[in-house]
Structure 1
Amino acid sequence: MGFFRRLLLTGTVFCAVLAGAASARAESMDDLAPYKMIRSLQFVQDTVVLGDHSAMEMQRFLLSTIDERLRTADSAIFDDPRNVDAALVYAMSGGNPETLELLIKKDIAGHFDSRLTDALRGYLGGRGTQSVKSLAEIFPEYKRSKVGPYLALVSANSVIRKDPKLALSYFDWARLVAPGTIVEEAALRRSIYIASESGWIDKSMTYANRYARRYLRSPYASQFADLFVKLAVDHFGSVKEEDILEILSFMDVPRQREVYLRMARLAAISGKNKLAVLAAERAQMLAGEGESLPKALADLYSGLASVPSSDVAAAMDTIIAIPDDQLSPKDRALKAAARAVAEEVLRTPQASAAQQTTDKADKPVEAENASYEGLNEAEMADRAMDPQARGEETPVAAAEPEQGKKEQQEPQEKAGIDPAFDTFVSSGRSKLDEIDALLKGEGS
């Protein structure tokens, strides 16, 4: 029942906004207060993050309409503080930063707090770090005002790198005072990132759980999926399998499958083979009848993870069997890299030339040993001591050239100790260099 009431209310508001906007255009919008337009914008934005993507076009329409209204408004309209707040909320809600600049230039009466506008101008102009101190000083004063939740988001974004703990406190405040809104959605999504990067895994999982319960239908949910996949892969071990299953349980089957495939891919690339195989198996289980693409991707990521295992031959067969036309260019590159590694692992090095030479050199020794057969111990001793009996010239004359020959042969044997093995290693290194270059281009 609540859904239908909300749907009816949304339709009513849309009609009212459209009718009001049409009437306002006919009357040059002189009688339409900016704060009323901002209320409509906030409602539409909240509706979007709750899952009504059809409202996104209305959001764009309202932003452009409010922009025009603010630019053409008489300065006296800002005698009402609600319109001042509306202009600030507009600037922090994806509005045109140049409009705020224009309003500040026209503000002869001092309706706008210069401390706040200067900090916002720095932040919106890409100079967020320069606004940190001023925003920290201003926020306590404005935290309970209409602009408080938006200012909390801006303040948090400006200190994320320098003070992640403070940033989380700003985001927590924004969620507290604006539940069920686009402000809470943004605060939760960014809190997951901060907590994960700071190593606060329990906090990050708590934020992820709350997001999954509330905002999976948001158009920004794909960003959440990327954050969650990275969190699960980077901290697998601290993040338990049951924790992953709990969060994904709030998703429908197609979304679960998509997240598992993303997780399997990133885990395989990152060397988290256990998680890669687990996620790939889950994705395969969720594949519907006749859906070949999810199965092909799951086979690829599972095979990639299995290459370092003892079952590399089976992994090789699985990888080769995956049709290239079912893979994206990046996944085809991954398949080629995995196949190259598997082939190098399975290839048997050939016997070296040095080894073959050694084998041949051993044969005369065996023949010489055989020539001693049938001699008694005394005769064997005499023959061993007598170089002429062995067909040699003299011990000294024979020793010198043999020693020199040995010294000449040793460097050659060291230089080419095993050409086949050396070629094998060089080829493997080349393949690994290619794969490293490929994986450096991968973002998760």
Structure 2
Amino acid sequence: MARRLRLTLALSGCLLALPADGIAQQRSGTDEGNLSPVHLVRTLQTLQDQIASGSTNAHVAQRVLLTRLDEKLTTMDDSVWQSPRNVQAAVVYVLSGGKPDILRRILAAGHLGAADDVLVRGSLAYVEGREEEAQKLLGGVNPRELPITLSGQVALVQAALNVRDDPAKSVELLDYARLQLPGTLVEEAALRREILVLSQTGDTKKFDLLSRQYLRRFRYSVYAGNFRQRFAAALTRLEFTKDPDYFSRLVAVLSELEPAGQLELYLLVARAAVIQGQTKAAILAANKAYELAAQDKVSAVRATLYRAAAMIVTSQGFDEAARQLRSIDRSVLETADVGLLDSALAMAKFIRESPTEASSAKAITPAAVPEANTAAPLQRPTPTISRAQEVLGQIDKIVRRESR
């Protein structure tokens, strides 16, 4: 892979070194030369595939290459765009992060056939945020009838346009995109997005399967960090505490990662569960994180914080949680976690200083106790604890602001 990256970066460097008017030889409308739109975009795709493999050098080079490709593509003679292959390469370029100006120029040239016209207009509408128009134009395009490289990109776009109204169709399109282009950034993006869609549809078996694939094959992707945060939030949406076997399945999924990666994800899951009021999920994940923390003091403190913040709203765990919260060294915490600690301590103080349970019961509404907490195998909360859980909703707002 290192050799392939060096070759790709070397080729990219050659392209970057060429003057913009060096493409004059390509103004015949053919794509036989090494600087045709097809070849230029292929170089970009090769570079992006290295990004999916975790190359930060490729990620840095991509920004420069996109700028240079934009200069080259927009200065090509209009006759170049009489070739459907060149037009399709331009669509791939824009859907891969390039500027949309080239699509406007192609439309203005007026050389497009009916099918390519729809493709160009639909892609332009999508990247410019005109989703309703993009859906009308691209909704009737069958990606299976397009060249493979283009079909994967179009399927990704169609999946994004359908995810709100028809998540099942979105999953189908993402399946198609990832299977068409294995080992590429398209597959990485399709897997990453499909896992999150599956967390909303509740298909836990496929969620587990694809999560294993992503964590095994794309754990070093430049985009894996963002994925892990969203993955942690997705796990709490699945409410895995309602299924006694699911946490053990989660442990099996995360075992695909090295211990440090597992620790990071368990901490993310624990924090997300605390914020969403899923007490048992937070405790399970925090306990696992604490086991993995070993000599990592900061991670151990975070695990203790998340566990205590979850336990503070339970009658059985209140005293121990309050003690742990008071013992936490806030100097090792990041700003967002300091806010969470302050919120948890404020909740503990509220519980201790609340009126007697009998008096509090008069001010309690049944809806004050979140369903996820009543489902946990803990003693039924007392009225005072229930009141504290009601206050949690207000405290959450503070935590969310500090987390932005």
Q: TM-score, normalised by structure 2?
A: 0.82
| Superposition deviation, residue 150 in structure 1 | 0.8
Structure 1 residues 276-331: Cα deviation after superposition (integer angstroms, max 9, x where no partner): 22211222222242x32111111111111221132322211110111222222322
Matched, 1:29 2:48: no
Larger radius of gyration: 1
Task: Spell out, residue by residue over 1:244-272, the C-alpha distance to the aligned partner (whole angstroms, 9 max, x if none).
Answer: 11221122222211111111112223232
| Alpha-carbon distance between aligned partners in 1 of 2:114 and 2:83, rounded to the nearest angstrom | 9
Give aligned pairs, total: 366
The runs of 4+ residues in structure 1 deviating greater than 6 Å are 427-430
1:438 matched to 2:398? The reply is yes
Instruction: Report if aligned partners of 1:75, 1:107 keep a CA contact under 8 Å in 2.
Output: no
1:272 pairs with 271, 278, 299, which one?
Answer: 278
Question: What aligned pairs does 1:175-324 form with structure 2 within 5 A after superposition?
Answer: 175-235=178-238, 236=240, 237-238=242-243, 240-289=246-295, 291-307=296-312, 308-324=314-330
Instruction: Return the match for 1:10 from 5, 22, 26.
Output: 5
> What is aligned with 2:137?
134
- Shift of residue 82, structure 1, vs aligned partner: 2.6
Residue type matched to 2:24 in 1? D
What's the counterpart of residue 3 of structure 1?
A: none
Q: Which residue of structure 1 lines up, in the alignment, with residue 371 of structure 2?
A: none
Deviations 1:33-77 (A, max 9, x none): 121111111111001111112111221122112111111001122
> Are the structure 2 counterparts of residues 208 and 430 from structure 1 closer, same or farther at C-alpha, using a change threshold of 3 Å?
closer
What is the CA-CA distance between 1:431 and the residue it aligns to? 5.5
Partners of 1:429 and 1:243 in 2: CA distance:
29
Gaps in structure 2 of 5+ consecutive residues: 26-34, 357-383
TM-score when scaled to structure 1? 0.75
Q: Structure 1 residues 173 and 143, CA, compared in 2 at 3 Å: closer, same or farther?
A: farther
CA-to-aligned-CA distance 1:133-191 (integer Å, 9 cap, x gap):
43121225643454111111111111111111111111111112111101111111111
C-alpha distance in structure 2 between counterparts of 1:297 and 1:27, whole Å: 56
Check whether the contact 2:44–2:65 (CA below 8 A) recurs between aligned residues.
yes
8 Å Cα contact 2:236-2:269 kept in structure 1: yes
Residue 22 of structure 2 aligns to a residue whose secondary structure is coil
Aligned to 2:90: 87
8 A Cα contact 2:155 2:174, kept in partner: yes
Are positions 1:51 and 2:54 aligned together? yes
8 Å Cα contact 1:49/1:182 also seen in 2:
yes
Residues 25 and 241 of structure 1: is their aligned pair in 2 closer, same or farther, counting only changes over 3 Å? Answer: same
Match of 2:336 among 330, 349, 358: 330
Q: How does 1:100-111 map to 2 (within 5 A)?
A: 100-108=103-111
Corresponding residue of 1:19: 14
Q: 1:20 to 1:304 in 2, by over 3 A?
A: closer
Distance 1:280 1:116, change over 3 A: same
Distance 1:52 1:148 in 2: 25
Distance 1:433 1:130 in 2: 39
CA distance in 2 between partners of 1:232 and 1:296 (Å): 22
Q: Distance in 2 between matches of 1:326 and 1:90?
A: 44
Conservation of the 8 A alpha-carbon contact between 1:79 and 1:111: no
Distance 2:278 2:110 in 1: 58
The residue that corresponds to 1:406 in the other structure is: none
- The answer for unaligned runs of 5 or more in structure 1 is 1-5, 351-423
1:8-45 CA deviation, whole Å, 9 max, x = no partner? 122123223323442x3286233421211111111110
Q: Which of 48, 69, 73 is equivalent to 1:70?
A: 73
CA-atom RMSD in angstroms: 2.9
Q: Quick check: 1:229–1:262 contact (8 Å CA) kept in 2?
A: yes
Q: Which residue pairs with 2:351 in the alignment?
A: 345
Residue type of the alignment partner of 1:438: I
